[in-house]
Structure 1
Amino acid sequence: MTKKLLVLLLVLGLVMTAFVGCSSGDTTPEGEPEDQEPAAGEDAKITMVTDVGGVNDNSFNQSAWEGLQKSEKDLGVEVAYIESKDASDYVANLESALDAENDLIWGIGFLMGDDILKAAQDNTDQKYAIIDMAYDDTPENLIGVVFQAEQPSFLVGYIAGKMTETGKVGFVGGEKSAVIDGFDYGFHAGVKFANPDVEVFRQYADNFNDVAKGKAIATKMFQDGADIVFHAAGATGDGVIEAAKEQDKWAIGVDRDQSDLAPENVLTSAMKRVDNAVYNIAKDLKEGKFQGGETVVYGLKENGVDIAPTSDKHVPADLLKEVEDLKQQMIDGKIVVPFDEKTFEDFKVE
């Protein structure tokens, strides 16, 4: 081998070494999926897709957006939302969020459950999360988040059972489902626990976005003698609160503290801390964590549900002390609140 050829080979070797060294950080070994999760400390991009109630529903969509806004402020997360006007928008909106190259896509509400599951199955490199949905077999790129809504519903039911002056209260539901069952039967159990003689009216609007129907249902309940009506009906519940204001009766809000909608007529609210759940998962993502393939459960113990902090405006202090005792009994497992018809039938008041 000539000296010239030897020098040429050495130079080529150095060039190849430099090329490999510079490229190794930008490639993924063949056959191994690239980890798209943001490294700890890096920025994250999160978009939520609302259900038909929209981002300003004064309920769980709005609470979710408030959680994302807090993530933006505290964590530097880039956030956005896409509103769904109709259930037929869910698939297209999830695809739009996917095209925008988000680190995490949220679906807000169980009505989106099937669509977000299919999206997660079809796009295994994309991370998803959904509020109010649990699956028997959750994909590794999807987190389900559920709330023990029966717990705060029991507490506001107890308050209603103790504070009613007519011996009649009401419940207005959105659409019948396992999620709304928790509010419904939890409320019934709380009323029963407070006073078994109180009558509870129940009616479903079959819609989460019909303010006029919510108002009509609640107005009829008030005319029939109810003086307190609790709703778990999304934006439809705005009509329940309007009716309470017009009839000078009490409404009980849901999902977030709804006292701002009628400060003198919202007695309390059964809060489901969707904002906390959304914020916590954004924080985990930002720190390089993701609990994919799991269902996260939020109850009183996890600070995921509660009654509104403004309850002390209208609820007597001694009654709120009783509520605090009930909370602790639930946390300790001494009171197990029913969440559907079967568990309600088995619920015993001692």
Structure 2
Amino acid sequence: MRRSMKLAAVVLSGSLGIASLAACGAKSTDTASSGSGSSGGSALKVGMAYDIGGRGDQSFNDSAAKGLDDAKAQLGVDVAEQEAKTGEAEADKETRLSTLVSKGYNPIIAVGFVYQPAVEKVAKENPNVKFAIIDSSSNTQPSNVTSLTFSEQEGSYLAGVAAALKTKTKHVGFIGGVQSELIKKFEAGYKAGVASVDSKIQVETTYLSTPPDFSGFNDPGKGKEAAQGQLDKGADIIYSAAGSSGSGAIEAVSQKDGAWAIGVDADQAKQPALQKYKDHILTSMVKNVNVAVFQYIKAAKDGNPLTGVKNFDLKSDGVSLATTGGFIGDFKAKLDDATTAITSGATKVPTAPQN
């Protein structure tokens, strides 16, 4: 998910990114595995600290994990992964990163803006270790930290265009996992895309939790309840930027004739746990976290590490719309026009919701 994103409040550590913090049943494990083609201890050792939800969230964390898996398979790096814990303290994040440092992992990738304070602290204490953080940047970030950011608002704009062209009720919905500056970018782009087609279309907005409660990123039950509420009000298309909570929203939509879900972060119609709902997923706003992770690791392995803020926007294929199912094929030309308008600079997509 673009331009450099600054935390509205660093003390609020949380992420999705798309997405994906969370609550119930989050894992707390530390696993390590050797990269193919490594000899002895000579391979680059890459550590990854996941956001709450971790592997298996069918969304943000899984996309990051794919980038790590690709680097392991194609570049022969050694990897270690650590999962977040539900309700953990800031010190737990710092300990997780410090543990990877102590085991010789360099670089270390933190998945989600929830890690911003911890990354800054641990990076300052270990200036010879390279860190990357996904979905966050800060003026106080030390030089050994690279920000991997995305233009989520641009992909969400296209999702809004698709929703506006598909709706029959002229009433659509947006569900955000946690009411944060990051997720507001998804909301802003989506609403702007809808309005670009028909400003009279009503957009329902529901957030599942508010900081410091980040459970909205990992509670499918909350997602399902919120989606049902929007369906009951007349919405027939619902876009969820809510991590694994979005799976609950997709389930609710699948039970309503004529309704469509829009997925986020990954092509959710292709996710194993969501296959049974694929005929109800209109499209997904894909955020190519895997590409950013792989590029970061490859640059480090090649001895030319990425530095500063590396943004992945629509023009660079950092975000896109999935076409699985062919459900948006009827208005491909209009989506192409909207894409061209954004990539050419003719359309400036807002990063904050407009009233």
Shorter-chain TM-score tier:
0.7 to 0.9
The residue identity in structure 2 corresponding to 1:259 is A
Match of 1:304 in 2: 318
Residue 194 of structure 1 and its aligned partner are, at CA, apart by: 1.2
**Structure 1, unaligned runs of 5 or more:** 1-41, 346-350
2:282–2:327 CA contact under 8 A, matched in 1 = yes
Q: Secondary structure at the match of 1:174?
A: strand
Q: Which of 289, 295, 303 in structure 2 is aligned with 1:280?
A: 295
How many residue pairs get aligned? The number is: 299
Identity percentage of aligned residues: 35
- As a proportion of its length, which structure holds more helix? 1
Q: Rg bigger for which structure?
A: 1
Which structure has more relative contact order (CA 8 Å, sep 6+)? It is 2
**Structure 2, unaligned runs of 5 or more:** 1-41, 210-215
Any idea what the Cα deviations from partners look like across 1:36-68, whole Å, max 9, x if unmatched?
xxxxxx731111111112111111110000011
Q: Which of 314, 317, 328 in structure 1 is aligned with 2:340?
A: 328
Q: Which of 126, 135, 138 in structure 1 is aligned with 2:141?
A: 138
Counterparts of residues 93-132 of structure 1 (less than 5 Å): 93-132=96-135
Match of 1:47 in 2: 47
User: How does the TM-score come out when normalised to structure 2?
Assistant: 0.81
2:323–2:329 CA contact under 8 A, matched in 1 = no
The residue identity in structure 2 corresponding to 1:234 is G
The residue identity in structure 1 corresponding to 2:139 is D
Match of 1:29 in 2: none
Any idea what the Cα deviations from partners look like across 1:199-240, whole Å, max 9, x if unmatched?
000010012111100110001111111110001111111111
Q: Name the Cα RMSD after superposition.
A: 1.3
Q: Secondary structure at the match of 2:43?
A: coil
Distance 1:306 1:272 in 2: 7
The residue identity in structure 1 corresponding to 2:319 is V
Counterparts of residues 35-114 of structure 1 (less than 5 Å): 43-86=43-86, 87-88=88-89, 89-114=92-117
Residue 309 of structure 1 and its aligned partner are, at CA, apart by: 3.6
Match of 2:39 in 1: none
The residue identity in structure 2 corresponding to 1:44 is L
Any idea what the Cα deviations from partners look like across 1:89-112, whole Å, max 9, x if unmatched?
422221221222111111101111
Q: Which of 260, 263, 269 in structure 1 is aligned with 2:278?
A: 263
Does 1:254 pair with 2:254? no
Match of 1:166 in 2: 169
Residue 291 of structure 1 and its aligned partner are, at CA, apart by: 2.6
Distance 2:177 2:299 in 1: 32
